[in-house]
């Protein structure tokens, strides 16, 4: 099995196996979005409040729909800058589903970011995030060897049931972004406490630790045609994003091009072992609404069984305020 397959599958198979097989440690990984700037506070909590409007963002990802037992992720967030606290507040809900409802994860997070004006042109934001997560598994959809009677099939009740079908845990993240009118970059660390999500007690069964995830991202704004209305301008946006979670890593490198309301983009995705895929994106930026669609084409060794993934993002700008103080919004891609 190549490494990128393990990254993309988030090791859900190993999470389930860890419940039943006598192993010492099982590791899980976080879901991800290809449109990482269209899910800003999910990528880095320091993006909370970096717009001068309140915004609602939703993201839906269907990963490898050709594989039986789908992998789907949904995220919704709200963030806005508030002068009274010199920073931004954000709320985010994330639902992740593996195996057609077999394994589900629901997370609710709160975010605070603090704006620091470094120079006349350079701004920094630091952020913290706290969340509560529920992970549940539907054991009624699983079958076990002790249920089998030869020539009759699955007849008996299983003795493999865990103490609980639901696990709750707290989780934390932190991040920072630094930006000017033509540059932006940031770094985030998720799963700071590396919570244990095992369904069995760790005294009698395996741990299922969520390792810390490190994310670094950076990009440039290259103006081609400038306008006071950013949605009428034409720009090139070269970008790079790198993620590391234990031994698994991923690099996305690509570029966006926007002309007025329309955005197109292309990304190459790889890790330290092999190349994995190519991402294409189409976006539409209207006055108060933003819609994006991206298509992931896999060309690594798993392409025959998992050829593609799909992702849709929708964002709304709620209101525009005239600030009494200086609020420095970040100028970066919206997809």
Q: Please check the confidence at residue 118 and state whether its pLDDT lies above 50.
A: yes
Q: Within 13 Å of residue 39, how many CA atoms lie on the same side as its CB?
A: 24
- Separation CA 331–CA 299 (nearest Å): 33
Taking only the tens place, the pLDDT of each residue in 196-234 is 888 776 665 556 889 999 999 999 999 998 877 776 789
Cα separation values, 192 from 171, 195, 242, 274, Å:
7, 8, 18, 28
pLDDT at residue 22, rounded to an integer: 33
Tokens representing 335 are 């997809």
> How many CB atoms neighbour CB 331 within 10 A?
17
The SS3 call for residue 5 is helix
Q: What pTM, to 2 d.p., does this model score?
A: 0.84
Q: Which domains occur in the chain, in start order?
A: 3-320 (2.40.160.40)
The pLDDT of residue 155: 65
pLDDT band at 239 (very low <50, low <70, confident <90, very high): very high
Does residue 124 carry a pLDDT above 90? yes
Residues 110-115, mean pLDDT to the nearest whole number: 97
In the chain, % of residues over pLDDT 90: 51
Helix ranges (DSSP H) in the chain: 3-9, 12-20, 40-43
């Amino acid at each position: 099995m190549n490494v990128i397959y393990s990254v993309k599958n988030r090791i859900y198979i190993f999470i389930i196996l860890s419940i039943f097989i006598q192993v010492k440690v099982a590791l899980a990984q976080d879901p991800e979005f290809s449109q990482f700037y269209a899910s800003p506070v999910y990528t880095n909590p320091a993006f909370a409040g970096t717009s001068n409007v309140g915004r609602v963002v939703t993201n839906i990802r269907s990963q490898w729909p050709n594989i039986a037992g789908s992998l789907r992720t949904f995220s919704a967030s709200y963030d806005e800058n508030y002068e009274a606290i010199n920073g931004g507040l954000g709320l985010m809900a994330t639902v992740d589903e593996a195996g057609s409802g077999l394994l589900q994860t629901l997370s609710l997070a709160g975010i605070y970011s603090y704006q620091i004006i470094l120079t006349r042109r350079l701004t920094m934001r630091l952020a913290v995030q706290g969340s509560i997560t529920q992970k549940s598994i539907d054991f009624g959809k699983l079958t076990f060897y002790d249920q089998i009677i030869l020539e009759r099939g699955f007849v008996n009740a299983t003795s493999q049931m865990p103490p609980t079908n639901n696990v709750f845990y707290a989780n934390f993240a932190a991040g920072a972004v630094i930006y000017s009118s033509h540059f932006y970059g940031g770094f985030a660390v998720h799963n700071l406490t590396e919570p244990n999500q095992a369904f069995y007690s760790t005294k009698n069964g395996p741990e299922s630790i969520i390792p810390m995830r490190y994310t670094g991202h950076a990009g440039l704004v290259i103006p081609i045609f400038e306008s006071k209305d950013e949605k009428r301008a034409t720009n090139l946006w070269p970008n790079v994003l790198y993620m590391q979670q234990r031994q698994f890593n991923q690099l996305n490198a690509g570029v966006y091009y926007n002309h007025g309301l329309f955005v197109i983009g292309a990304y190459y995705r790889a890790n330290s072992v092999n190349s994995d895929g190519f991402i294409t994106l189409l976006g539409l930026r209207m006055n108060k609404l933003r819609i994006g669609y991206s298509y992931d084409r896999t060309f690594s060794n798993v392409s025959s069984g998992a050829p593609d993934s799909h992702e849709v993002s929708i964002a709304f700008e709620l209101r525009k305020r005239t600030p009494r103080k200086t609020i420095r919004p970040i100028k970066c891609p919206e997809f």
